[in-house]
Amino acid sequence: LAMSAVLALVFCFIHNSSFAEEKVLKMSTTTSTENSGLLNVLLPEFAKDTGIEVKVFAKGTGASIRDGMDGNVDVIFVHAIDREKKFVAEGYGTKRYAVMHNDFVILGPASDPAKINGLRNAAKALKKIVESKARFVSRGDDSGTHTKEQDLWKASGAPIEEKATEMVKDGKRIAIRSLHPAGSSGWYLSIGQGMGKTLTYAEEKQTYTLSDRGTYIKYKFGRQGGLALEILCEGDPLLFNPYGVIPVNPEKFPHVKYELARQFAEWLVSARGQKLIADYRYEGKQLFFPDAMPDVK
């Protein structure tokens, strides 16, 4: 009888452990969802509603998409819409759910050597930075922000060139080809870092940079000493920054926890998830705007 009881306890332990493991979802996401503090609001509420825990791997959008393409995660939550659509079209993801948006801003020192303060034309602002050869720091990490920056350089009309670089991510060497202004080695700094470290570096060196608004607000108002960089260019439709969530395709990767990923995606675009996104503020400022239900109350 004693042995039967022990075996029963062991069985229950194994069963409960397996069940708990099944309720953990692996998500690769851009650093801005984490740095802005949004995930600290969303994920505990999602766990309360569903019992599903989300294990977060925060990195650049390019690295997050590669995680999905390698089948290393169950879902990706990123912001580079053309790359997201390609991810789905090539069969790596099942469907892109439009979750929310914020926007990018061009930051710089108060001295503003390129004289871009007040411009609402982001391409023109970058052209003036090129012409003045004022220092600019780029994430250079194949993230959604880095992707947007390259689009803006193309739109600026300034001469651009392509450069091949290597990054080490998760112990792997990754080849990246990216665009930047031609002949800019003296003033253009590509550091291969996330948004937070890029902001810190730009502040130390008093350079221009491109940031998502949410992370900028968190660093500007959420740290002792703030951030000695100002928003100098904003409001251009080119700076619009949509985010999508995509479950990884179980037909390509049978091991992924698709049902959990689908629940997460559908929760984010439900009235519950959308209201949490709309209500999230930092220092009274709204950081993200819901896209699935823009008028959610």
User: What is the full DSSP assignment across 168-229?
Assistant: EETTEEEEEEEEEETT-TTTEEE----HHHHHHHHHHHT-BEEEEHHHHHHHHHSSTT--S-
pLDDT given at position 188? 97
**Is 100 in contact with 220 (CB distance < 8 Å)?**
no
* pLDDT at residue 11 is higher than 90: no
Which segment of 9-18, 26-35, 232-241, 251-260 scores lowest on mean pLDDT?
A: 9-18
* pLDDT at residue 214 is higher than 50: yes
Q: What is the mean pLDDT of residues 204-210?
A: 97
- The half-sphere exposure of 186 on its side-chain side, counting CA atoms within 13 A, is 7
Q: What is the mean pLDDT of residues 64-81?
A: 96
pLDDT given at position 31? 87
**Is 253 in contact with 142 (CB distance < 8 Å)?**
no
* pLDDT at residue 168 is higher than 70: no
pLDDT given at position 14? 47
- The residue with greater pLDDT, 21 or 100, is 100
Kindly compute the dihedral angle of the four CA atoms of residues 188, 169, 74, 10, in this order, to the nearest 10 degrees: -150
Residue for token digits 């100098």? 232
Q: What is the mean pLDDT of residues 84-112?
A: 97
Output phi, psi for 71, to 5 deg.
70, 25
> Tens digits of per-residue pLDDT, 12-60?
554 454 444 579 999 999 988 998 899 999 999 999 999 999 999 999 8
* pLDDT at residue 90 is higher than 90: yes
* pLDDT at residue 125 is higher than 80: yes
Q: What is the mean pLDDT of residues 112-130?
A: 97
Q: Which token pair is 13?
A: 């332990």
Q: What is the mean pLDDT of residues 102-123?
A: 97
pLDDT given at position 17? 45
Q: What is the mean pLDDT of residues 89-107?
A: 97
Task: Name 259's Cβ contacts closer than 8 Å, sequence gap at least 6.
Answer: none
pLDDT given at position 177? 82
pLDDT given at position 20? 45
pLDDT given at position 223? 83
Given pLDDT bands bounded at 50, 70 and 90, which one contains residue 76? very high
pLDDT given at position 60? 86
Percent of the residues in the chain that have a pLDDT greater than 90, as a whole number? 77
Q: What is the mean pLDDT of residues 184-197?
A: 93
